[in-house]
Amino acid sequence: MTVLEIILNKLKPQYMSESEVAGSDIYMHESVTFRQGNKYLINAQSGHGKSSLLNFIYGSSKRYEGHITFKEETLSGHEAVIFETQKLRTHIISYMFQELCLFPELTAMENVQLKNRLTNHKDNSEIESMLDMLLPSEKKGQPVGTLSIGQQQRVAAVRALCQPFKFLLLDEPFSHIDKENARLVANLIIQEVDAQGAGLIITSLDRSDAIPCDYILNL
């Protein structure tokens, strides 16, 4: 089994000055490594580049200086790898966007199935089971555009888990979820991350304790 590392070298958003990222544990550092199998909490206030960081890693934004390298550890050492975009986003990295990016006219099940059909990672009974844990039964058949933001976040969390991944990126996943539902979502996330032997990078406005992390980094 190979182990993936994401290595950031002197990374900085193009639209932020060096003074704005001074003191960051990540930006402008010679080398920062995220290793598969570890859980990382990225802690910062709004406007400090949390979403930008995840977008850079996912490849949905190229507005940065520096370099991002993917390396796989093999028996012979570390080898740099370049993933084709589709493979990166269907088998290597799963991302729960802060904006959620759900289709409002589709139901919760339809939103998740749309993602799951790319890899058939889960069967319908597994998806139903996850949604049953997080949503009232009468809400599952409604268009997600009619659900509360907190309920939509839960749907987006399930969708992010319905693909193979070596890293899971979560951008403020509990910002509109009450403590009890956050605990349920966190348990599902931990279960799937550990089952896949994956790494986790989660951003938060504060030191969220919903998911225990191995490392806390400040932006």
pLDDT tens, residue order, the chain (219 aa)? 799 999 999 999 999 999 999 999 999 999 999 999 999 999 988 878 899 999 999 999 999 999 999 999 987 788 899 999 999 999 999 999 999 999 999 999 999 999 999 999 999 999 999 999 999 989 989 999 999 999 999 999 999 999 999 999 999 999 999 999 999 999 999 999 999 999 999 999 776 778 999 999 998
Rg (CA), the chain: 17
CATH topology of domain 3-218: Rossmann fold (3.40.50)
Contact (Cβ atoms closer than 8 angstroms) between residue 217 and residue 41: yes
Question: What is the pTM (predicted TM-score) of this model?
Answer: 0.95
Distance CA 142, CA 156 (A): 15
| pLDDT for position 117 | 96
| pLDDT for position 207 | 61
Helix spans in the chain (H): 50-58, 85-87, 108-116, 124-134, 149-161, 179-195
Residues 6+ apart with CB under 8 A from 28: 10, 11, 12, 18, 21, 22, 66
